[in-house]
Homo-oligomer: A and B are copies of this chain.
Amino acid sequence: MELIINSPLDMHLHLRDADMLNKVAPLSSHSFAGAIIMPNLAPPITSLQALKEYKKRVQESIADDRFEPLMTLFFRNDYDFAFLQEAKRHISAIKLYPTGITTNSEGGVKSMDIEDLRQTFEAMSELGIPLLVHGETNGFVMDREKEFGSVYEQFAKNFPKLKIVMEHITTKHSVDLLDRYENLYATITLHHLHITLDDVAGGMLNPHLFCKPIAKRPQDKEALLRVALSANPKVMFGSDSAPHPRDKKESCGCAAGVFTAPIALQALAALFEKHGVLQNLQPFVSDNARAIYYFEPIKKEVILEKKPFFVPSSYRGVVPMFANSTLDWSIKNIT
């Protein structure tokens, strides 16, 4: 059995910088036609100069030119119309992080008061720049995303022309918001379609599945599966693939993030086939994103086949999800 995916897109990707960039960018560029590149470097990308330089480093590190890095700025509420008008030529979106909520988010937004954000949000609305949000409060770990729901609602109601993407959603509550606000969209990761907190801490502790937002309850995972497997047009695949060196994951006080980029398409094909909805993989990993971002990707065909794929224990020192296990689907060819 084979399945051709036209121009798969990863709408939420961490490539990091320097050595790590050189390790992981080739892997994403191999099997995807483009990806939204997260701006939370240290320091974060907040100027066009830094953005252009980072894009150049990304382009130099990729293995296949048929991969478009869709660049993003790290949100600041002092971005004004003139700056954003210029920025629009170079970016696909702007990513908002509440301060201190995840890796390299220390420079993020302190206040979610819409009056503090109005100038920038209005300019983004007018210019058609999507707002990507890491939607968590600093509350109890299992409640952080749900608590942030009221912020999403404030944003959606007060800025109806702003396209808002709830990044890497993990709860039924967030899924339900998609139906209630026309301008709310979401990315969903591979790992949140597979795991709950049980997989992280229900048996032995598994640092390789520790991520932010943390995996939630079985009913949350079911809600995510429902909209992903049905290729609901408001959801897109975004791996949130977040590489950390093995020693940073396996040492005491491990860093958050699951590395899925090189195995994502194979694992998604297996998941969608298992549920009998292989035909919905194309919209989930590409078409929905094109429609939401008004974007035409580089042409690239990834031919998947139902043939065992043994996931290696690591890719250049970075441990992937499903390491040392076998997936039912593999990549046959890329044309």
> A256 in the interface, Cβ–Cβ < 8 Å?
yes
Contact A205 B253 (CB under 8 A): yes
Chain B residues, CB < 8 A from A218 = 140
Chain B residues, CB < 8 A from A254 = 204-205, 207
Q: How far is the CA of A243 from the CA of B57 in the complex (A)?
A: 48
> A251 in the interface, Cβ–Cβ < 8 Å?
yes
> A284 in the interface, Cβ–Cβ < 8 Å?
no
Contact mask for chain A residues 192-224; partner B; CB cutoff 8 A; 1 contact, 0 none:
000011101110111110100010011000000
Contact B202 A205 (CB under 8 A): no
Chain B residues, CB < 8 A from A50 = none
Contact A253 B141 (CB under 8 A): no
Count class of interface residues, chain A:
20 to 34
Q: How far is the CA of A252 from the CA of B314 in the complex (A)?
A: 14
> A116 in the interface, Cβ–Cβ < 8 Å?
no
Contact B253 A217 (CB under 8 A): no
Q: How far is the CA of A205 from the CA of B197 in the complex (A)?
A: 13
Contacts A201-B201, A201-B214, A214-B201 given; indicate if A206 touches B253 (C-beta within 8 A): yes
Counting chain B CB atoms within 10 Å of each CB, which of A202, A205, A249, A250 scores highest? Answer: A205
Nearest B residue to A208 by beta-carbon distance? B252
Kindly identify, within residues 156 to 211 of chain A, every residue whose CB is under 8 Å from any CB belonging to chain B: 196-198, 200-202, 204-208, 210
> A127 in the interface, Cβ–Cβ < 8 Å?
no
Kindly identify, within residues 251 to 272 of chain A, every residue whose CB is under 8 Å from any CB belonging to chain B: 251-256
Q: How far is the CB of A209 from chain B (nearest CB, A)?
A: 10
> A142 in the interface, Cβ–Cβ < 8 Å?
yes
**Which residues of A are in contact with B by a Cβ distance under 8 Å?**
140-142, 196-198, 200-202, 204-208, 210, 214, 217-218, 249-256
Contacts A/B (CB < 8 Å), 22 sampled: A140-B197, A140-B202, A140-B217, A141-B202, A142-B142, A142-B217, A200-B201, A201-B201, A201-B210, A201-B214, A204-B253, A204-B256, A205-B205, A205-B207, A205-B210, A205-B253, A206-B252, A206-B253, A207-B207, A207-B252, A207-B254, A250-B250
New A-B pairs, 17, CB < 8 Å, besides A204-B254, A205-B205, A205-B254: A140-B197, A140-B198, A140-B202, A141-B198, A141-B201, A141-B202, A142-B142, A142-B197, A200-B201, A201-B201, A205-B256, A206-B253, A207-B207, A207-B254, A208-B252, A249-B252, A250-B250
